[in-house]
Structure 1
Amino acid sequence: MNNAEENKIDTSESKKVSVKSSFSVFNDKVSSIKMKMASNSYLKHIITPLGLFVLLPILVYSFYQITWASPRFESQMQLIVQQPDGMSTLDPSMALLTGLGATSTNSDTQIVQSFINSNDMLSYLDEKISLREHFESNEADVFSRLFSWQSKEDFSQYYKSMVEVSIDEKSAIITVKAQGFNSEFATLLATEIGNKAEWYINDIGHQLADAQLAFIKQEHLSVETRLITAQTELLSFQQKYNLLNPEEEGKALAQIVYGIEAQIASKNTELTTLKGVMSDVAPQIINIENQIKAYQEQLRFEKDRLTQQNNTDAGDLSVSQVLAKFSDLKIELELAIKGFASSTISMEKSRVEAYRQLKYLIQIESPTEPEDNQYPKVMYNIALLSVILFLLYGIGRIVLSTFNELK
């Protein structure tokens, strides 16, 4: 084969290669045009009211929920407030005076709920386990965490969103659910909440018991003071008038008066008899008349002792007044003794009752240690957002269609 033939062959092969390359370039251009057309059709479907207001937000929110949202672990515990059974053992009179009674279980559970949600609990947790530092940690995404520039009120609201307290009205069981960005902290948070709430309820119970005992002791002290005063006044009265028992001495004086009156009556009878047989100047008649006068003088003296004061300037009292005063003092002493006895019994009973009324916060379920995160609930959140957006989109379309028709 000569050189001319070889040149022809090379020329034909080069032409074939150039044709192939041109064809491949053409195919690439066609493919790029097809891809552009496809992308344009895709964008065409996206850039619609349905795509912009429904599909795109769902896609963005789904991306956040699946890839970016921080997992939150939840620890749960159950509490109940208990106290020993028993009615108030105070005497009815003391119970009316003190106004003490049984407290409502519903009130106790609401106190626990309010305390867990209070700023006092929040301050304790922040000091004890650095609660705010955990909520501001970089473990959480920017949409889930708390920021350092937010106020205490924001911190309180954020805490309430992370700690849920619910009460079963029938059983009075308190359920506490505490969330954290890791399992260990969620369990620690629930544990500290339970410990602090238990201390608070026990402290309230002791304060109420101390207040009840202090009130009863004060009442008992008043009754005891009344008894001592009554005893002192009675003894002073007896010492002043040198009387051991004025009632008995008053009876003795009355017997003396009655005896003198009897003697006077007897002498009058004897005098009448003698006058029938003797003259008025007879010695026996004069003697009897003198005896009658003496008895009458003694009778007036004894009656004066019973009804008149011996020494007005000295403030002395008559026997009748002494008896009346002594009777009043004796009645006051008897009442004071009865009141003291009743108060002593009530104080001892209330001492026992005060401790029986102490309340205790019992953990039915200890704080759980979660292994899987409970939040965010990805499928639920995405489904809920989708339903809401589609409903809003449908309502918007209906409103626009109605508006266009009326237009």
Structure 2
Amino acid sequence: MTITVSPTPKSGWQRKLTKLRKNPKLFIIDSKAAKTANLAVAETRYRWQQMGGFSFVILAFFSAVVYFTMIASVRYETESRVQVRDADKPATPNDFIPVLSGSNSLGKADALLIRDYLYSNGLIVELDELLDLRGHYQANDWDLISRLSSSASQEEFFDFYREHIDVQFDDMAAVLSIKAQGFTPEFSMALVLAMQAASEEFINRIGHAMAQEQIAFVEQELDKSKQTMKQAELALLAFQNQHQLLDPEAQGAALQALINQLEMDIVKVKTDLAVKHSYLKPYSVEITQLDNQLRALTSQLQEQKEKLVSDDPKAINETSIAFRQVELDVQFALDAYQAGLIGLEQVRTEAYRKLKHIVVIQPPMLAEDPTYPLKIRNLITIFIVLSMLYGVFSMVIKTIKENY
């Protein structure tokens, strides 16, 4: 009698191991994980097919999410707030409410000039030499999209700089806000400080230029007045040398005194002569001497009068008039020169008063947290734009299919 021994039944793990040895590929295909993965892939493929072209929107949006969350380089922003003031005018409470006070002392026009200057190409070149802007913007440490291309032209470099600064003037507060972005907080702060210093240097340079123009004009007029005064003085010296007179008026006064004395002497001689005639003969020696003295005094009196007053150009009266005109010219030139000196000091004082300076209301501070990119806002914007483009594209495709 033959006894048949049945094989011992294998466990589940033993059967799987045997199947794995015989046909690994079939083992993997028939595995539960593979079936689950295939089911998930099929379900995903079905869903993508159901979404159609909107799947490209999802892919693009997912790429944007990856970029902004894992790749995009962060940027730090530093801000400074300043005001422009006159050099000689202190701050007053009304200056901070110019709309109510109607004050124009805060220099709105100057602030707008500074704003335009901070965007100018010339300043960008100066800042590049000072801070190496291009080197910072083109560093390989930043992602390709955020940084400036290494082959960027000068115009592209200028535009990149302007995109990373923001200068705004607040009309209500009369405050100029200066903001700058950098890939490091140290760089953004250094850039704002440099822009702030450049602003003050620029506004002072304008003030000094205007002051120098005004002072140069007044100094030029003063030089002309000085030359006129010297010419008038030379004319006075020439007149004095020509007429051999230091002061015709003084000379005239001396002649007048002499004439008065001569007239008194004549009166005295005439009196003596009348007395002598009363008891002396007409041909006596004393009467003859008095007659000769009288004739001499009368002749001298007539001569001195002709020197003092006559139609002769050399007469004192004519000379005094001419001398007075020359003297007036000298005095006028001297007054004009003195007025020019006073005007020069006034212009210098006024030029100083018109100088401006920058008052820092909010100094720049080192940023601790990055400001850009604005991830949530950018992602929402990208999703909305992609959805709108998808909607427009879908409508165009649908219209074409309906018509054709």
Q: Give the TM-score normalised by structure 1.
A: 0.71
Residue 355 (structure 2) pairs with residue 352 (structure 1)? no
In structure 1, what is the equivalent of residue 96 of structure 2? none
Of the three residues 285, 310, 315, the one matched with 1:306 is 310
Following the alignment from structure 1 to structure 2, what is the Cα–Cα distance between the partners of residues 361 and 185?
Answer: 22
Following the alignment from structure 1 to structure 2, what is the Cα–Cα distance between the partners of residues 227 and 14?
Answer: 131
Matches within 5 A, 1:265-280: none
Of the three residues 57, 60, 84, the one matched with 2:60 is 57
**Unaligned stretches of 5+ in structure 2?**
20-25, 90-103, 267-294
In structure 1, what is the equivalent of residue 360 of structure 2? 363
How far residue 337 of structure 1 moved from its aligned partner, in angstroms, is: 2.8
In structure 2, what is the equivalent of residue 390 of structure 1? 387
Give the letter for the 1:140 counterpart. W
How far residue 363 of structure 1 moved from its aligned partner, in angstroms, is: 1.9
CA contact (8 A) 2:73 2:183 kept: yes
In structure 2, what is the equivalent of residue 212 of structure 1? 214
SS at structure 1 position matched to 2:385: helix
State the percentage of identical aligned residues: 27
CA contact (8 A) 2:106 2:174 kept: no
CA contact (8 A) 1:230 1:329 kept: yes
Following the alignment from structure 2 to structure 1, what is the Cα–Cα distance between the partners of residues 401 and 29?
Answer: 51
CA contact (8 A) 1:165 1:176 kept: yes
**Larger CA deviation: 221-230 vs 173-182:** 221-230
Following the alignment from structure 1 to structure 2, what is the Cα–Cα distance between the partners of residues 66 and 15?
Answer: 47
Give the letter for the 2:374 counterpart. K
Following the alignment from structure 2 to structure 1, what is the Cα–Cα distance between the partners of residues 350 and 186?
Answer: 42
Give the letter for the 2:78 counterpart. S
Matches within 5 A, 1:2-401: 4-6=3-5, 8-10=6-8, 28=32, 31=36, 33-46=38-51, 48-52=52-56, 54-85=57-88, 105-246=107-248, 302=306, 306-308=310-312, 322-397=319-394
1:154-183 alpha-carbon deviations (Å, 9 max, x no partner)? 111111111221112343322111111111
Give the letter for the 2:53 counterpart. P
How far residue 375 of structure 1 moved from its aligned partner, in angstroms, is: 0.3
In structure 1, what is the equivalent of residue 280 of structure 2? none
How far residue 70 of structure 1 moved from its aligned partner, in angstroms, is: 0.6
Following the alignment from structure 1 to structure 2, what is the Cα–Cα distance between the partners of residues 373 and 332?
Answer: 76
Residues 165 and 25 (structure 1 numbering): CA distance in 2 closer, same or farther, change over 3 Å? closer
CA contact (8 A) 1:77 1:367 kept: yes
How far residue 220 of structure 1 moved from its aligned partner, in angstroms, is: 2.2
How far residue 66 of structure 1 moved from its aligned partner, in angstroms, is: 1.4
In structure 1, what is the equivalent of residue 95 of structure 2? none
CA contact (8 A) 1:307 1:319 kept: no
SS at structure 2 position matched to 1:137: coil
Following the alignment from structure 2 to structure 1, what is the Cα–Cα distance between the partners of residues 353 and 217?
Answer: 17
Give the letter for the 2:335 counterpart. K
SS at structure 2 position matched to 1:143: coil
Q: Give the TM-score normalised by structure 2.
A: 0.71
Residues 32 and 395 (structure 1 numbering): CA distance in 2 closer, same or farther, change over 3 Å? closer
Residues 41 and 230 (structure 1 numbering): CA distance in 2 closer, same or farther, change over 3 Å? same
Give the letter for the 1:4 counterpart. I
1:335-366 alpha-carbon deviations (Å, 9 max, x no partner)? 22322232222222223222222211222221
How far residue 402 of structure 1 moved from its aligned partner, in angstroms, is: 6.2
**Unaligned stretches of 5+ in structure 1?**
87-101, 264-290, 310-316
Give the letter for the 2:238 counterpart. S
1:68-93 alpha-carbon deviations (Å, 9 max, x no partner)? 1110011111122211357xxxxxxx
Give the letter for the 1:59 counterpart. F
Residues 399 and 16 (structure 1 numbering): CA distance in 2 closer, same or farther, change over 3 Å? closer
How far residue 24 of structure 1 moved from its aligned partner, in angstroms, is: 9.7
Following the alignment from structure 1 to structure 2, what is the Cα–Cα distance between the partners of residues 25 and 238?
Answer: 133
**Larger CA deviation: 168-177 vs 135-144:** 168-177
Following the alignment from structure 2 to structure 1, what is the Cα–Cα distance between the partners of residues 365 and 10?
Answer: 80
SS at structure 1 position matched to 2:360: strand
Following the alignment from structure 2 to structure 1, what is the Cα–Cα distance between the partners of residues 236 and 219?
Answer: 26
Residues 15 and 392 (structure 1 numbering): CA distance in 2 closer, same or farther, change over 3 Å? closer
Following the alignment from structure 1 to structure 2, what is the Cα–Cα distance between the partners of residues 128 and 155?
Answer: 16
How far residue 327 of structure 1 moved from its aligned partner, in angstroms, is: 3.8
Following the alignment from structure 2 to structure 1, what is the Cα–Cα distance between the partners of residues 11 and 2?
Answer: 17
Question: Aligned pair count?
Answer: 348
SS at structure 2 position matched to 1:81: strand
Residues 242 and 180 (structure 1 numbering): CA distance in 2 closer, same or farther, change over 3 Å? same
SS at structure 2 position matched to 1:306: coil
